[in-house]
């Protein structure tokens, strides 16, 4: 992989030293996870990479000067009175997008993040998971090359976590470079190509998480508005999403679970009209 970002001897001090002489490389197209205890500097490192906070010493160099970086904090801003569409339009206009180009980009993102039917709803009525999606969409308005996420699954329920994980997996498959802080082992194992652990003002360790062979599956089926919670009982279903009128299922599945998935759907009387597998790249 080509190096996209080079961090050299990074030091950050507030009232106390956060980390010292920290160096690392971020490769193009990889998902890099950052772990560590509270106060170890995970969020500070992301803010420095995003250009929000300056280091005390050291450098952050993008090998391509045109690299676009999008940043999503852990918590969405309070008291936003816009609808989802209004907020994204407002953020895009601040960045200099023209109206027609911006509207097309917003429509595409709302579809990708499964919020098309919520575009005119007030963000204040959204769940935390939905707000997290809006935060990610604003970070991707400029079709960023790098996405920085601070604890993207924090405070989300199981369905929201599975949905967001599936979205991150597809973004990664499309070639987006992703850096995220995380404590969730499932997300680390399913998304991260590499994990660094911060502690004692430095990188304490680095490892490659064990991955299970998996694929993304699209199933067109007549579900007759059935509740699909029974799929959660299948070991190996990583995430699932029912879209439209219930006739399209999107799932990330371990290869070992593929036969059990199809058999279980048939046993529950679901008529499968077509099946498409998109193997992991």
Q: What is the pTM of this model?
A: 0.77
% of residues, the chain, pLDDT over 90: 54
214-279 maps to which CATH number? 3.30.70
DSSP-derived 3-state class of residue 143: coil
Query: Residue 224: what pLDDT?
Result: 64
Determine the average pLDDT of the residues in 7-20: 95
Q: Given CA atoms 130, 239, 74, 11 in this order, what sign does their dihedral have?
A: negative
145-175 pLDDT, tens digit per residue, is 999 999 999 888 888 888 888 889 889 888 9
- Say if residue 84's pLDDT is above 90: yes
Rg (C-alpha) for the chain, rounded Å, is: 20
Closest CA to 207 of 195, 189, 191, 192: 195
Q: How confident is the model at residue 18 (pLDDT cuts 50, 70, 90)?
A: very high
Segment (H or E) for 277: strand 271-279
Number of H helices, E strands in the chain: 7, 13
Query: Residue 32: what pLDDT?
Result: 96
Q: Which residues pair with 275 in a beta bridge?
A: 219
Q: Which residues contact 136 (CB under 8 A, 6 or more apart)?
A: 70, 72, 113, 147, 149, 152, 167
Scored b (16 or more CB within 10 A) or e, 165-185 reads bbbbbebbeeebbbbbbbebe
Q: Which of 69-73, 86-90, 228-232 has the lowest mean pLDDT?
A: 228-232
Q: Domain segments of the chain: what residues?
A: 3-207, 214-279
Do 3-207 and 214-279 have matching folds?
no
Higher pLDDT among residues 121 and 261, named by residue: 121
Best-predicted range by mean pLDDT (52-66, 96-110, 202-216, 256-270) = 52-66
3-207 maps to which CATH number? 3.40.50.300
Closest CA to 271 of 244, 247, 238: 247
Task: Enter the DSSP assignment of 266.
Answer: H
- Say if residue 281's pLDDT is above 80: no
């Amino acid at each position: 992989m080509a190096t996209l970002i080079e961090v050299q001897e990074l030091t950050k001090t507030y009232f106390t030293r956060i980390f010292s002489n920290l160096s690392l490389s971020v490769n193009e197209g990889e998902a890099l996870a950052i772990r560590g205890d509270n106060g170890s500097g995970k969020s500070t490192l992301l803010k420095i990479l995003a250009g929000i906070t300056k280091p005390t010493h050291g450098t952050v160099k993008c090998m391509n000067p045109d690299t676009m970086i999008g940043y999503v904090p852990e918590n969405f801003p309070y008291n936003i009175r816009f609808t989802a569409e209004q907020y994204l339009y407002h953020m895009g206009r601040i960045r200099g997008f023209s109206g027609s180009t911006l509207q097309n980009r917003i429509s595409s993102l709302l579809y990708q993040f499964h919020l098309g039917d919520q575009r005119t709803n007030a963000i204040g009525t959204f769940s935390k998971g939905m707000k997290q999606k809006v935060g990610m969409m604003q970070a991707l308005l400029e079709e960023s090359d790098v996405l920085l996420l601070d604890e993207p699954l924090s405070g989300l329920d199981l369905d929201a976590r599975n949905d967001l994980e599936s979205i991150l997996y597809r973004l990664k498959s499309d070639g987006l470079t992703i850096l995220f802080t995380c404590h969730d082992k499932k997300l680390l194992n399913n998304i991260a190509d590499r994990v660094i652990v911060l502690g004692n003002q430095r990188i304490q360790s680095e490892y490659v998480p064990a991955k299970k062979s998996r694929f993304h599956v699209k199933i067109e089926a007549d579900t007759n508005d059935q509740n699909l919670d029974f799929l959660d009982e299948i070991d190996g279903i990583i995430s699932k999403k029912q879209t439209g009128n219930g006739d399209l299922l999107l799932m990330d599945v371990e290869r070992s679970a593929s036969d059990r998935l199809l058999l279980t759907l048939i046993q529950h009387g679901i008529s499968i009209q077509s099946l498409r597998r998109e193997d992991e790249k």
